[in-house]
Amino acid sequence: MSSSITLRDVGQTFLVRGDDDRQLREFVALDGVDLEIAAGEFVTLVGPSGCGKSTVLDLVSGLTKPTSGTVSIDGTPISGPGLDRSVVFQQYTLLPWRTARGNVEFALEAAGIAKRERAARALDYLELVGLGEFANRYPHELSGGMKQRVAIARSLSYEPGVLLMDEPFGALDAQTRERLQEELVGIWRRTGTTVVFITHDIEEAVFLGQRVAVMSSRPGRIKEVIDVDLDRQTAENQDLRATPAFASYRHRIWSLLREQTLQAARPEVVNRVA
């Protein structure tokens, strides 16, 4: 099961206090953001720090509402959070007093899944992320990568149409990160869920995304969306990251981001509120 996502002419303005006079001002975080994500697609979102990536994810999750424009799931405007969407953050956010299985079951309980179904389903999803044998371990008995896999299992367990991931591998070491990237591609293929994945890491964006959306900052907009046409199936046993095609995508996105970073050096645009 998967859902499409549409952002149409989306703007998000926050009220912030000026550093100098402490007056309230409008800060335009997003302006005119347009993005269409098809059901079942894997899209990565990159952009300079503070360009509004998490703000976009918050809007799709329904935690916040846009100041202007519309954000829709399967053509229906989002009115708040829902079980059709699930978010994985950089911090694992597991309950320390529950086992891996207990953490997944907790989400299933909140989603209203019948008690008799919860234990089996939790185990199925822990197996999907390769943690079937660790179901009875507590978070403090798991490595960082394992904790993040539990968080992914928990998010997928109630079978959302959309999985939103905000730098989920940002706190992991390079090797664990690469392994989880490969596993995530496998999980995405098996579940067919639409994935929107935020990252600062260009290689991660190219490796994972069927398309990479590059954002510009101040105000945040989608600057360019790049189709990544890499043969991931035949490359399964090769080092995809070492291929010339991969390097070429990496360089293209690096160049776009460099332009953005140079532009971001100018002062922020804020409008004073009367």
Instruction: Write out the residues near ligand ATP by the rule CB under 6 A.
Output: 14, 16, 27, 29, 47, 49-55
CB of 254 to ligand ATP, least distance (A): 16
Report which residue type is found at 41.
Answer: E
Please answer whether residues 161 and 39 qualify as being in contact, where contact means their C-beta atoms are separated by less than 8 angstroms: yes
Please answer whether residues 157 and 107 qualify as being in contact, where contact means their C-beta atoms are separated by less than 8 angstroms: yes
Please answer whether residues 117 and 111 qualify as being in contact, where contact means their C-beta atoms are separated by less than 8 angstroms: no
CB of 91 to ligand ATP, least distance (A): 13
Task: Dump strand ranges (E) for the chain.
Answer: 5-17, 24-37, 42-46, 68-73, 76-77, 85-88, 162-166, 194-198, 211-216, 221-227, 270-272
CB of 77 to ligand ATP, least distance (A): 21
Report which residue type is found at 14.
Answer: F
Structure-block tokens of residue 201: 């890491």
Residue placing its CB nearer to ligand ATP in the complex, 1 or 15 = 15
Torsion of CA 96, 164, 231, 254, to 10 degrees: -100
Residue placing its CB nearer to ligand ATP in the complex, 118 or 218 = 218
Contacts of 111-117 with CB under 8 Å at 24 or more apart are 111/83, 111/157, 111/158, 113/158
Residue placing its CB nearer to ligand ATP in the complex, 140 or 266 = 266
CB of 137 to ligand ATP, least distance (A): 30
CB of 56 to ligand ATP, least distance (A): 7
Residue placing its CB nearer to ligand ATP in the complex, 92 or 125 = 92
Residue placing its CB nearer to ligand ATP in the complex, 51 or 122 = 51
SS3 250: helix
Whole-angstrom distance, CA of residue 86 vs CA of residue 245: 32
Residue placing its CB nearer to ligand ATP in the complex, 172 or 240 = 172
CB of 215 to ligand ATP, least distance (A): 7
